[in-house]
Structure 1
Amino acid sequence: MIQNNPELIKSIRDQFAHVDNCPFQGERIFFENAGGALTLKAAVETSSKFAAIPDNQGRDNPAAHALVATINKAKADMAVLMNATSGQFFAGESGTELLFRMIRTACVNAPKGAKVIGSSIEHPASRSAARRWADIAGLDYINVPHDDATGLVSAADYTALMTPDVAVATILHASPVTGMGMDVAAISEAIRAVAPDCLIIVDGIQHAAHGQMDLEAYNVDGYAISPYKMFSRHGYGIAWISDKLSAMPHDMLIDAPATGWEFGTRDTGAYATLSDVVNYFDWLGGEVSDETEPRKRIEAAGRAIHAYETYLTNTMINGTGNLPGLRDMDHVTILAGADNGAREGLVSIVVKGMASPDVVTALNKQGIRTHTRKADHYSRNVLDPLGLPDCIRISLCHYNTEGEIAQLLGALKKMGDSA
């Protein structure tokens, strides 16, 4: 395991760029991982390597053949990472753009008079797409309310509103506001128990860095991630779609292959960095287990990441050494409760008597990077029901340390002492 293993933690941190130092600010602690995780040094090197290559895929020359092989390897590596035994992976502009494309295709191919179901906890990436395309396609949109106190939506919540005429469903894997992970497999099973042929599309963007993905277990038709939130880089998104969704009529060039979903020439370097990410998970799995098979090592890495991040968030909430935790600070309120087993590496708080942007600024001056979530089009679905104009999001990853948590707690404690 990662906890209580300083040598392993050092080895982990050594593989990431700017782990404790910002090129614009200097020394800093990075608790803004939900906004974009740190980048693997290997991914930086790979990006630079492929950026210098002038050739394109699809030509008859050695460079083009090598580029195609690189992309194919990345897709095969992603299949191992996400346990996909069928379907296809493809790249797009961003995770949000890919969610729109998948949901649009599902909605316009749905039977007239059918329904689309989704939940109020969802990020607007999926929620906006579902509501827009349900309206255009003449479908009824069904909203599943989440539990405000826990920041969760459950399989039972979906079941309560499911009917056999639901043709499209969307699920959020983890919330970037509450940090809570949903039980995708259970929700998918509940949907299919009532509407077996429903097309189910999952927003996995926030979840991807925090634990293993298992498409075989989820039994869904679409899953999107944003690689910059999974140790790669900005500029593209990755989607997996089932064979069923692949074959449906969709935006494509005239006379192009019927199951092709990519537009134009993709960045080979972007794909190549995915192999770097998979290699990293594989390496970590070998460090925390005796497994020899790649998928088993990746599963072990996911369990270790989840366990360590749970330890770090519990330390933040309960305290460490002589520092009180967030739950014991009278001036701090924890969103979604202090004791919530669904939490994935993220704690959102409000500080009594201080606007959240002011707290973020004060922390930043001490070299502690966090983020304000405002009740805007991104987060009002979570914050408005709680009567909050904003909150402070503290998001960590498995390369963060208990010492960094202690510095954060010390800074937040002083805010209460000076109040």
Structure 2
Amino acid sequence: MTKITPDLLAGIRDRFAHVEECPFTGPRIFFENAGGALTLKSVVETTARFAAIPDNQGRDNPASAALGEIIAKAREDAATFFNAPGGKIFVGESGTELLFRTIADACLGTGPGIVLGSTLEHPASRSAAARWAGVAGKRHVLVPHDDATGTVTAEAYAAHVTPEVRVATILHTSPVTGMGMDLPAIAAAIRAVAPDAVIIVDGIQHACHGGIDIAACDVDGYVISPYKVFSRHGYGLAWASDRLTALPHDSLLNGPAGNWELGTRDTGAYATFSDVVEYFEWLGSALTDAPDPRARIEAAGRAIHDHEAALTRAMLHGTGNLPGLAEMEGVGIVGGVDNPAREGLVSFWVAGRPSPEVVAALSDQGIRVHTRKADHYSGNVLGPLGRADCVRVSLCHYNTEAEVAAFLAAMKRILDRA
């Protein structure tokens, strides 16, 4: 089996909480995955179990030793998920906080020069780079993204990288356009001119779609938010290379060398990410006979990508006798209609209709989507397009074509009434 079949999809959906209903409003279709994916039932159970444990790490008792083993296993699991050679896996307050910390250390720990990013980036990395470049006396240079495709390319980075680049930031997938970037190519373009640059990646939107491969990218930091990849709120997860770890960073005096964490971390956070990795392995085991965990994770990532691509094609071009968004009068698509970089997300606007009205009308029909406004989160994308807002429909591999059909039927009713 190489794809997600109807039977496998039923098994997938059974592993997630609140697939078909909101605990507050009742039945609904969940197309707001970019704002936070559905949570694995195993994560819910693990969270409750560890919340009740009174012991902490670093004590001389069996419970403490067991907690240490759970954390060590979770770090190994995360390294397998990232395909990360060496380096450190650690948790923090959130993905945003970890981007600020790693970017700050990179800016403060390197010599005079340039911090290079792009205009496509989420404010988590862009704000951190702007702030710490200024504190470190470095110049912050932004590579322009392509408004038409909603991407930034390796060629665009290559046109702006110079030997003076000391730090570079890359957005792996945009939460506004839904487009994925060619991370290995961008990293290679930077290394070709500034081989010693510290490269940090915002992988927060990309993680749930599978396909993280740090070994193939030659970067120094990669950050995700586990609540966007089937875990829970309350922590972020990062990988830092040995080189980034060796730079000075906030730590306790005379503490363990190379330690990134400040204070006692939640063992349950680590344990819930093991649940996420176990889920990817389970999914991959239904798609390949390979016994290797990494091979299973890769198989899961490929199937997730293909399933979500089929769903977005149906959303754009229609399914059954229902027209797709691209065929509906007055509907515009962020990033264009047939964009191969798209990862499970379609952002659109309706001419003459404020997006919040469309979102509310869809909610009235039991479909959960989200408004993106030209504010500090999304203005970098929507402003150049001349749009005040858009509707974001974000899919995940547990969504079905029937749910897409229900969305298209709802959109047709909304537009017909207008």
Q: Which runs of 5+ in 1 are unaligned?
A: none
Q: Residue type of the partner of 1:205?
A: I
Instruction: Note closer, same or farther for the CA distance 1:137–1:4 as it changes in structure 2 (3 Å cut).
Output: closer
Answer whether contact 1:348 1:391 (CA < 8 A) is retained: yes
Task: Supply the distance in 1 between the matched residues of 2:26 and 2:74 (Cα, whole angstroms).
Answer: 34
**Equivalent residue for 2:347?**
348
Superposition map of 1:345-384 within 5 A: 345-384=344-383
| Contact residue 211 and residue 306 of structure 1 kept, 8 A | yes
Using the alignment, how far apart are the partners of 1:216 and 1:3 within structure 2?
Answer: 25
Judge conservation of contact 2:46–2:271 (CA < 8 Å) in 1.
yes
What are the residue-to-residue correspondences of 1:282-361 with 2, within 5 Å?
Answer: 282-361=281-360
For residues 2 and 165 of structure 2, the distance between their equivalents in structure 1, rounded to whole angstroms, comes to 43
Preserved contact between residue 2 and residue 288 of structure 2 (Cα < 8 Å): no
Per the alignment, in what secondary structure is the counterpart of residue 169 of structure 1?
strand
Distance of 2:94 and 2:36 partners within structure 1: 13
Alpha-carbon distance change, 3 to 258 in structure 1, aligned in 2, over 3 angstroms: closer
1:146 equivalent in alignment to 2:139: no
TM-score, normalising length: structure 1: 0.99
8 Å CA contact 1:2–1:308 kept in 2: the answer is: no
- CA distance in 1 between partners of 2:352 and 2:160 (Å): 40
Quote how far apart the aligned CAs of 1:2 are.
7.5
- Offset at residue 254 of structure 1 (A): 1.1
- Do the aligned partners of residues 300 and 4 (structure 1) sit closer, same or farther apart at CA in structure 2, a change above 3 Å counting? closer
Q: Does 1:121 align with 2:102?
A: no
1:61-140 → structure 2 map (5 Å cutoff): 61-112=61-112, 114-140=113-139
Contact 1:57 1:64 in 2 (8 A): yes
Post-superposition offset of 1:47: 0.4
Assess if the C-alpha contact under 8 Å between 1:119 and 1:143 holds in 2: yes
The corresponding residue for 1:15 is: 15
Match of 1:239 in 2: 238
Question: What stretches of structure 2 of length at least 5 have no aligned partner?
Answer: none
- Secondary structure (helix, strand or coil) at the match of 1:8 reads helix
| RMSD between superposed Cα atoms in Å | 0.9
Equivalent residue pairs, number: 418
Contact conserved, 1:202 with 1:220, CA < 8 A, in 2?
A: yes
CA contact (8 A) 2:3 2:287 kept: no
CA distance in 1, matches of 2:243, 2:85: 14
Cα-to-partner distance string for 1:194-219 (whole Å, 9 max, x where unaligned): 00000000000000000221010111
Measured in 1, the distance between the counterparts of 2:186 and 2:211 equals 17
Deviation at 1:290, TM superposition (A): 2.0
- Residue equivalent to 1:210: 209
Question: Aligned-pair distance for 1:3?
Answer: 5.7
How far the C-alpha of 1:351 sits from its partner, in A, is 1.2
Partner of 1:54: helix, strand, or coil? Answer: coil
Structure 1 contact 95–225 (Cα < 8 Å) conserved: yes
Q: For residue 385 of structure 1, give the secondary structure of its aligned residue in structure 2.
A: coil
- Aligned partners of 1:183 and 1:60: how far apart in 2? 47
Corresponding residue for residue 31 of structure 1? 31
SS of 1:274 mapped into structure 2: helix
Equivalent residues of 1:2, 1:8 under 8 A apart: no
Distance 1:331 1:272 in 2: 47
Tell me the percent identity.
65
User: How do residues 258-269 of structure 1 correspond to structure 2 at under 5 angstroms?
Assistant: 258-269=257-268
Q: Distance in 2 between matches of 1:2 and 1:55?
A: 44
